[in-house]
Structures are given as structure tokens and as C-alpha cells.
Amino acid sequence: MARKGGNGKRGNNSYDNVPGGNQNSYYNYNSYYNVPDGGYDGPNGTYRHTGDRNSKKKKKKSHIGDVISIFVMIVAFCVFVFAGYMLYGYYKEYKKADDEYANLATYTTDEDETEDLDVLEEAVENDEVQTISGREVKTVEVDEEEVTLPVMVNPIDFESLKSVNSDLVAWLKIRALDLSYPVVQGEDNDYYLHRSFEQEELFAGCLFVNYANSSDFTDQNTIIYGHNMKNGSMFGSLKKFREEDVYEKSKYFWIFTEDIIYQYRIISARVVEKVGQTYQIDFTEEEFEEFLDTAMENSEVDNSNVSVTTEDKIVTLSTCTGDSSTRFVVQGKLVQMYASKTE
């Protein structure tokens, strides 16, 4: 049948009442009657609302965003808990070390009750140790030679400490840093790296002499190792010698042994390579001259009033720096020995 034209009708859908009155007028209808964005959905004249679809998309995105937010919060909480756990672990380790070494300090006598180290350090500065009035002297054997030394009261109870650990070889005191610790020597340089003086597992470890050194500090260069602890314990405070006021407090460190007490004048403090001449023990005369020249010339502390010779005995205190390729060292030369005496 031929389609009649002119009446503007197509089935049940009429455009006669739509503003604009043409076949595209349903778009105008939407706009005129403020119908949400959409269109006719089939022959029944219903409208398809894209606004509903967008709303569903937004809800879906919102749901995904909520899941991500929750996940991020869970991860952050886990990180927080883990960090707290690690900090607590560090705290326990530091406290364990502090408690043990504080207990060991009870085996020492305060210097005010034994010797005035300020007086002895000043006497060395002025080369007057041997002339201190009334000081007792004693002949002892040092490095297979008999020498006469001034006598000094030993503030360390070696007998009691050796009953705790027979690997004890000395007690180190650095007055400028308020540092005072026992020093051991193991069969290698690993055993005491993370073991305490009481030989228990402890991250802070213990100060120890290089296993290849003689235990009587008679080598040309004796090396003592210690950890650079963040709370300043062990050798964590060595780097403070870079501060002039610290160095001015005392330019010496002391090593107490059962029979001899050694006084060292600090000649150098600096960063060095982790391997090299600094960690050499025995030298030819030419090598030792080079060793001493390097130490003096590269020092970060003022050593202009100090002289060294190849006859000197050196102790190198060594700790890590945070850079795996370097170490920080403080070096001293032996300036005076005392015969140990117990009260």
C-alpha cells in the first residue's frame, strides 16, 4: 500500500505536538521539557536515560575508590606497626647493651678515688711525669725488656672481670667522650662483632683488638674495633673529635691492662679507606714513615704540637661511617707507661 504523506504521523509516535514539528524534534522535546539526556527506547515511546547509566558508573568508581582507600590505610597501618616493632627491637637492643655495660662499670673505681688524670695529662704535656714529687716507681718487664716506670693505682678490677670473660685484654677510657669500656680479643674479628662482653648475642657487640695483634699493645700499630652505634655508645661518639671543643677537653686516651697502664696522645682523627695501610700491623721503616706522615697530614684535629717517629707505638681506634667503603679512625701514640698497682 502506498504511504500517504502530509499528516505527520508514523505509527503511534507523533511529532505534531513536539516543538519544531519535524522528524528530529524528539531531541528538541528532550530539551524543551527538560528530559534527562537520553532518547526513545523502542516503539513504546519510553525514554532511555543516560543519567542513570552515568550514576551507576560514578557509584562503581566510588566503590573502587573506597576499596583503594581502605587498602592504602591497611598498608599504612601495617607499615606503622612494623616500624613500631623495629623501633621497639632497637630500643631493647640498646637497653640490653646499656644495662650490661653499666653493670660492668661497677668493676671500675672512679678516677677521683685513684688518680687525677688531668694532672698526669698535664705532666706529659710538659714532660714532667718522672719528676712528680713523691711518686713511687717500679721496675717491670715490657716487651721483653726491663724498664722502670712510675706507679699508678689501677682503677679496673681485672680479676673479677676475667672471671666473667677470660678474653679480656684491656679497659679503654677516652675522657673527652666519657667513653669507658672493656676490650677483648677473640680468635678472629667476627666473634665479638655482635657478641657482648658476656658473650651473649648483642648487635652492639664489644670493643675488640684485631685478632692478629699482640695482646700487650707492643705492635707498631694495634687496632681496636667498635660499632658506630646511633645512640653514641661503643664507638658511636668517636666522630665528635671533629669538634674542637671536644678535642680540647682531653687530647689523650688511656688503656688499662692488668700489669701496665698506657697513656696515648691523639695524633690523628679522620676518614680512611676500609682497607689499606691504616690497618697494617707491622711495617718496614719506610712504610711506617709513610703511615705516620699520612696520619699526621690528613688529620681533622690539630696535631701541630705533636711529633712522631718510627720508634713510636700507635693504637688505631676504628669504627664504620655509614659508607661501606670507609671507616673513621682516631689514632694515638704511646707517650707514657705506668706500672699497675692495686690498692
- What string of pLDDT tens digits covers the 343 residues of the chain? 444 444 444 444 444 444 444 544 444 544 444 545 445 454 555 555 555 566 666 666 677 777 777 877 777 777 766 656 555 455 566 777 888 999 998 999 876 566 789 888 988 888 777 666 568 899 999 988 999 999 999 999 999 999 999 999 999 999 999 999 999 999 999 999 999 999 999 999 999 999 999 999 999 999 999 999 999 999 999 999 999 899 999 999 999 999 999 999 999 999 999 999 999 999 999 999 999 999 999 999 999 999 999 999 999 999 999 899 999 999 999 999 999 998 7
Buried/exposed 47-78: b ≥16 CB within 10 Å, e otherwise: eeeeeeeeeeeeeeeeeeeeeeeeeeeeeeee
Element (H, E) at 17: none
Give the span between the Cα atoms of 330 and 274, in whole angstroms.
Answer: 14
Assessment of whether the complete model's pTM goes beyond 0.85? no
Give the span between the Cα atoms of 41 and 57, in whole angstroms.
Answer: 20
Residue type, 71: F
SS3 percent helix, strand, coil of the chain, rounded to 5, is 35, 25, 40
Cβ-based neighbours of 247, under 8 Å, separated by 6 or more: 176, 241, 266, 269, 301, 302
